[in-house]
Amino acid sequence: MDVSEIIIPGDTPGTTWRLPVLRFAGHDPKAAKVYIQAALHAGELPGTVALHFLCERLRQAESEGGIVGDITIVPQANPIGAAQSHFGELQGRFDLGSRTNFNRDFPLISIADRATLIEDLDDYPATDRLKRQLLHMALGADLVLDLHCDDESLQYAYIDEAFWPEAADLAAALDMQAVLLSDGESSAFEEAVGFAWKYEIPGERRSRLPGRLSVTVELRGKRDVDPALAKKDADGLWRFLVTRGIASGETAATAFSGPAVPLDNVEILRAPEGGAVLFHRNIGERVAEGDVLATIVTRPGQPGGGIDLHAPQAGLILTRTSDRLVRRRGDLMKIACDNPSKASRKAGTLEN
Ligand SMILES: [Zn+2]
């Protein structure tokens, strides 16, 4: 394992960021290359701890000559966000200086222009430098996994339709409970990678990308940082690397049996008013149309001071907010359903 650091000068005197990059060199130059990062939203650590254990296994494999394709791992992709603690609370999703989501505004370029990502880096503030460096590394690989997590959540992934159903091997290896098929139109990291491949020949859009993969994996909820889950996920990532011929080893073939639905089939349950939320149903449960999912206590103690919220259609509860004081229009749940939601959705990502 080779460990190096990308140095990112801070935007104010006296600050510098350091981004450790772990590399395992494969012995077969024809094998697929993989890039895996975690915690781009700085407080999302299930992937970081899974990669800790995966690297242990990869070092063992390396000592036995078992690394076939090049592997690049960035276990903690966002040192800038990780330092943004205000009033005792981490803000790892948005860059406080520019008010942008750390997982949006990645440059949408053709892979033919990959080298330009790291030219003239001094022209960019630290957050943009970080994004350009991460995207540059990812575009050196064939397979790209961006490990995130949700709030209270099952394990699921956002996968561009261009990679489906080939990517079912990843869903099976990690034992995912659902897959959301996206249309690939945003500036999120995973979609910027896909964009670069689709427009390899500028002006010509490829709709299938065989042999390639770029996904956002939601490794359950933000509090699911746990030694048993981390080792299970490390095992899952290992299985995927073996399946794709990047590491050599034995794995039992498994199949993905969960739902794979388009983003349009995700119902987002929103609070019609603010108040204290009482959830009647939990993540992982299948619900029927009309089931009471939550009650918002809007005027405690007063007659009629609660509002019941019902399932708009049958589906599997993927996520739930961990907040119990919720705001008007706040997202409470994501439900993966069999049919498209009647609620209108902006193209691109489900959330800001
Ligand atoms: Zn995230």
Mean pLDDT of 27-31: 98
Q: Per-domain residue ranges for the chain?
A: 2-258, 262-337
With respect to CATH, is domain 262-337 assigned 3.30.930.10? no
Cα(344) to ligand 1 centroid in Å equals 23
**How much distance in Å is there from the Cα of 104 to the middle of ligand 1?**
10
Indicate the residue type of 141.
A
Angle at 261 between CA 37 and CA 268, to 5 degrees: 85
Residue 303 Cα, ligand 1 centroid: separation in angstroms? Answer: 40
DSSP string, 159-212: EEGGGTTTTHHHHHHTT-SEEEEE---S-SHHHHHHHHHHTSSTT---S--TT-
pLDDT digits (tens, 9 = 90+) for 58-115: 999 999 999 999 999 999 999 999 999 999 999 999 999 999 999 999 999 999 999 9
What would the DSSP string read from start to end of 297-310? ESSTTSTT-EEEEE
**Domain 2-258 identical in fold to domain 262-337:** no
pTM of the complete model: 0.96
Give the pLDDT confidence of 204-247 residue by residue, as tens digits. Answer: 999 999 999 999 999 999 999 999 999 999 999 999 999 999 99
Cα–Cα dist 34/70, whole Å: 6
Quote the ligand 1 centre to 154 CA distance (angstroms): 14
Cα separations in angstroms, 8 against 94, 140, 209 = 18, 20, 32
Mean pLDDT of 301-315: 97
Fold of 2-258: Aminopeptidase (3.40.630)
For 137-150, how does the pLDDT look when each residue is reduced to its tens digit (9 = 90+)?
Answer: 999 999 999 999 99
What are the angstrom distances between the C-alpha of 154 and each of 219, 258, 269, 280, 317?
A: 8, 11, 16, 17, 8
pLDDT tens readout for residues 160-182: 999 999 999 999 999 999 999 99
In the structure, ligand 1 is a single-atom ion and the residues with CB under 5 Å from it are: 41, 44, 148
- How far apart (Å, rounded) are the C-alpha atoms in residues 123 and 34? 29
